Amino acid sequence: MSRAGGTGEPAGAQPPTPGALRRALGSLTLLGESPVAMVGAGIVAFWIVIAIFAPWLAPFDPNATLQPFAKPGAAYAAGAGTFWLGTDQLGRDILSRLIWGSRTVLFYAPAATAIAYAIGIGMGLAAGYFRGWADELLSFLANVILSFPVLVLYILVITTIGASGLNIIIAITFASAPGIMRIVRGLVLDLRNREYVAAARTRGEAAWYIMLVEILPNARGPLIVDACLRLGYVVITIGVLGFLGLGLPPPDPDWGGMINEARPVALAFPHMTVFPCIAISSLILGFNLLADGLREISLRD
């Protein structure tokens, strides 16, 4: 709405909403322009709600062993309630474990992504803005790390430092920051030649001011899209690590770990593995659709 108002608009036509709030509302309406992004945002929001309200939504204690090998829809023989998605071989309710498991993934994935971004952005800004030897050194280090197949890197790091929540975050940061750095560096190399950056330099602004205030805000579009995609990858990574037995230590529910634990009996009881697979795939799909929709929106303007 505010974009359409050209210069013919009379003074004071803008609503007196505070700037930040208005912009947030503006970006929400922008999201509405892409059905793909809306669907993606809907799926992600669904899981966020589930994660927040897990204690109230889960019908059972996720770690309680109740009744092994119950089929989906079976009633709890020794008490009240239904195992809507069945139970695993230890007798834990799969639905409750899925609900609680969303907390794990929705805590670790954003946390790891955020930390990887903080480091990747710092490195990318430095490499792209200063160029020269700083760039060569950082780019070479990034190259070395990126030349590892990702999962090989994860396996090496996790088997060396051990599987724990913090170590998973460290491993993901270590493996993702170089990729983020490359993207940021590319954007900075382009943006640093803009005239407004030259204007800032001609008035003697410090390098940190130019990088953080003049350049970084203008790189946000591609970075937001990339962050959504990367969140999807990190969810996959957490799932794969759990699946390979390198994830969070049991017994707390973790989607990848659930699949790994049920694997020996999976061919006889597919429900134990199929539902966690659907859960994790839907969350990844949410992030991917959101990223795709956001890219489409950003290309349109």
152 near other proteins, rule: CB under 8 A = yes
Smallest distance from the beta carbon of 136 to other proteins, in angstroms?
A: 5
Tell me whether residue 78 or residue 267 sits nearer to other proteins (CB atom).
267
Q: Is 301 helix (H, G, I), strand (E, B) or coil?
A: coil
Instruction: Tell me which residue of 25, 33, 23 sits closest to 301, measured CA to CA.
Output: 33
Minimum distance of other proteins from residue 181's CB (angstroms):
16
Query: Per CB under 8 A, does 18 bind other proteins?
Result: no
Select 74 or 155, whichever has its Cβ closest to other proteins: 155
Binders in 188-247 for other proteins, by CB under 8 A: 194-196, 198-199, 201-206, 213-214, 217-218, 220, 232, 236, 239-240, 243-245
Q: Does residue 88 belong to the site contacting other proteins (CB under 8 A)?
A: no
DSSP one-letter code for 2: T
Smallest distance, Å, CB 213 to other proteins? 8
Of the two residues 3 and 80, which places its CB atom closer to other proteins in the complex?
A: 3
Q: Is 29 in the site for other proteins (CB under 8 A)?
A: no
How many residues bind to other proteins according to rule CB under 8 A?
Answer: 68
Within positions 112 to 141, which residues make up the interface with other proteins, using CB under 8 A?
132-133, 136, 140
Nearest CA to 40 out of 297, 299, 282, 298 is that of 282
Q: Does 277 bind other proteins (CB under 8 A)?
A: yes
Nearer to other proteins by C-beta: 166 or 213?
Answer: 213
| Site membership for other proteins, residue 71 (CB under 8 A) | no
Choose, by CB under 8 A, the member of 5, 68, 162, 249 that binds other proteins: 5
| CA dist., res. 241 & res. 238, Å (int) | 5
Which of 274, 278, 239 lies closest to 257, judged by CA? Answer: 239
Distances (CA, A) of 196 to 131, 181, 183: 19, 23, 21
Taking the least distance from each CB to other proteins, the nearer of 177 and 259 is: 259
Say how far apart CA 132 and CA 123 lie, in whole Å: 13
CA–CA separation, 127 vs 119, rounded Å?
Answer: 12
Pick 60 or 86: Cβ nearer other proteins: 86
| Binding status of residue 143 toward other proteins by CB under 8 A | yes
User: Could you tell me which of 220, 231, 287 has the C-alpha nearest to residue 36?
Assistant: 287
Give the list of residues 6+ apart from residue 245 with CB closer than 8 angstroms, or none: 257, 260
Q: How many residues does the chain have?
A: 301
Identify the three-state secondary structure at position 64: coil
Q: Which residue intervals of the chain are DSSP H helices?
A: 19-31, 35-52, 54-57, 94-130, 132-146, 150-161, 165-191, 195-202, 207-209, 220-243, 255-262, 271-300
Query: Interface with other proteins by CB under 8 A: which residues?
Result: 2-8, 11-12, 14, 33, 132-133, 136, 140, 143-144, 147-152, 155-156, 159-160, 194-196, 198-199, 201-206, 213-214, 217-218, 220, 232, 236, 239-240, 243-245, 256, 259, 263, 266-267, 270, 273-274, 277-278, 280-282, 284-285, 288-289, 292
